[in-house]
Each structure stands twice: as C-alpha cells, then as structure tokens.
Amino acid sequence: MKKQLIFLGGPGSGKGTQAKKMVRDLGCKHVSTGDLLREEVKKGSALGRKVDQILKEGHLVSDDVVFELLKANCDVKTGTYIFDGFPRNINQAKELDRELLDGCESIVFYFDCPHDVLVQRLTSRRICGKCGAIYNIITGPPPSSGICSQCKDGKIEHRKDDQEETILERLKVFKETTGPVVKYYEERGNLVRIDASVGDEETHNMVVRHL
Ligand code: AMP
C-alpha cells in the first residue's frame, strides 16, 4: 500500500492550498473533513443541519460524525491520500491508525505558522463556493466580477467561520486539541515540521523534498 500523508496545521496555515498542489503535481487524492462538512451544510442534509452551528462557532464536530464521513470518502488501498484537517485530537489520531490506515505507513507534515500570520490570512481569505479555489484579497485577489477564475462558474465567498471572532475561537481550539496531536506524532518520529509562513510554492517545494 502507498504511503499516506497527514497535513496538520492551524486554520490558515495553508493545508488546503498545499493539498491542491500535491494533487496537481503528484496525483495524490485529497480528503478534507472541513470541506466534507461544509458540503453537507450546503446540501442542507440532516447531518449538515446538525453541524451548521458548530462550524459557525469554530468548535469541533463530534469524532463519530467526522469519522463516518471520512470513512465513506476515502480508501487508502486506492492511492496516496492527503488527510487535511484530520486528525484534530488524539482520539481521532488513534482512530485513523486503527481503522483507516490499517498498518499503512504515513508521513505527517506540520505546517507551522505564527498566530498573527494565521489571523491575517484568515481574515483576508476568500473561497470559490463551487470548486474551492482559495483567494486572498491582499496577496491574490479574486476577479472583480466575483466569479471564480479557475472554474469560471462558482461565486467567491467569505467563509462564515473566517470572521474575526470565530477565527480566534478556532485558533484556541487548534492549540488545545491539535497541539497534543503534533506532539503525539513527533514522539512517534514521523512528523516533519514545515515553515508555512513563507510563500505557497516555497512551502510546496519543502514538502516535496521530504517525500
Ligand atoms: P477546516 O476547513 O479544516 O478549517 O474545518 C472547518 C470546521 O469544520 C472546523 O472548525 C470544525 O468545526 C469542523 N471540522 C473539520 N475537521 C474536523 C475534525 N477532524 N474534527 C472535528 N471537527 C472538524
């Protein structure tokens, strides 16, 4: 079975952007629990209605819900997956090993980025509601038409949880719950720290060098 990749990092550290580059350059498969949850909200499914408020507040959805969604959307036997936004706590890290990786080797990349850079990136982040392309109103603004230049169809949106108050809560939750996950993998010896405060391409090159 192919090696699996786990992307850890605070909100705004560039996990999603980096995952897209890996899909583009190396043909990896990308699974983002945040994207899967937002899709459910958008569809208005029972699950989406259940998690909508939790996402708006920047809190974590229950492990069971996230894990079921993840399990239904990836199969490590079919290639190299990038797990983006999962695991978020120690319980999820153990579940991932036990239930999904099933002995398959993994490398964990931790996208390390100072708090103030994360806040700045999140407040200026915009996304395409259709294809998920990521823009930044300061460093890489979307077209003035408000329509995505990549899929040429989706509307550019400001994520509800990218508002300042929720951002601070998400960063707090990240520090408290995902911080120990970083330590967990560090102790196991399969964690690579990447300086994610630099440009996207530079960060991507650092990741590729470690593969
Ligand atoms: P993200 O797109 O990774 O920043 O995730 C957006 C939101 O989805 C988070 O603030 C959580 O509410 C929820 N979420 C995403 N991944 C997980 C996870 N692994 N466990 C619990 N909640 C999650």
The per-residue pLDDT for range 77-121, each reduced to its tens digit, is 999 999 999 999 999 999 999 999 988 999 999 999 999 999 999
DSSP 8-class letter at 211: -
To test the pocket of ligand 1, the residue of 60, 99, 118, 181 to mutate (highest count of ligand atoms within 8 Å of its CB) is 60
Q: Give the residues surrounding ligand 1 with Cβ less than 6 Å away.
A: 11, 33-34, 37, 54-55, 58-61, 66, 85-86, 88, 92, 161, 170
How confident is the model over 152-199, as pLDDT tens digits? 999 999 998 999 889 999 999 999 999 999 999 999 999 999 999 999
Q: Tell me, what's the pLDDT at 51?
A: 97
pLDDT above 90 for 6? yes
Q: What is the mean pLDDT of residues 128-141?
A: 92
97/138 Cα distance (integer angstroms):
39
Residue 144: both structure tokens together: 């003035």
Cα dihedral: 88, 92, 93, 95 (round 10): -160
Cα(124) to centroid of ligand 1, in Å?
19
pLDDT above 80 for 73? yes
Q: Quote the mean pLDDT of the chain.
A: 95
Catalytic residues: 15, 88, 125, 159, 170
pLDDT above 80 for 1? no
pLDDT above 80 for 75? yes
Q: Tell me, what's the pLDDT at 83?
A: 98
Long-range contact set of residues 50-59: C-beta below 8 Å, sequence gap at least 24: 55/160, 55/161, 56/160, 56/161, 56/166, 57/166, 57/169, 58/161, 58/166, 58/167, 58/169, 58/170, 58/173, 59/169, 59/173
Q: What is the mean pLDDT of residues 136-140?
A: 92
Q: Are 9 and 108 in contact (CB under 8 A)?
A: no
Show the DSSP H helices in the chain as ranges.
15-26, 33-43, 46-57, 63-71, 90-95, 115-123, 164-173, 179-188, 200-209
Nearest alpha carbon, ligand 1 atom 15: 34
Q: Which atom of ligand 1 is nearest to the CA of 35?
A: 2
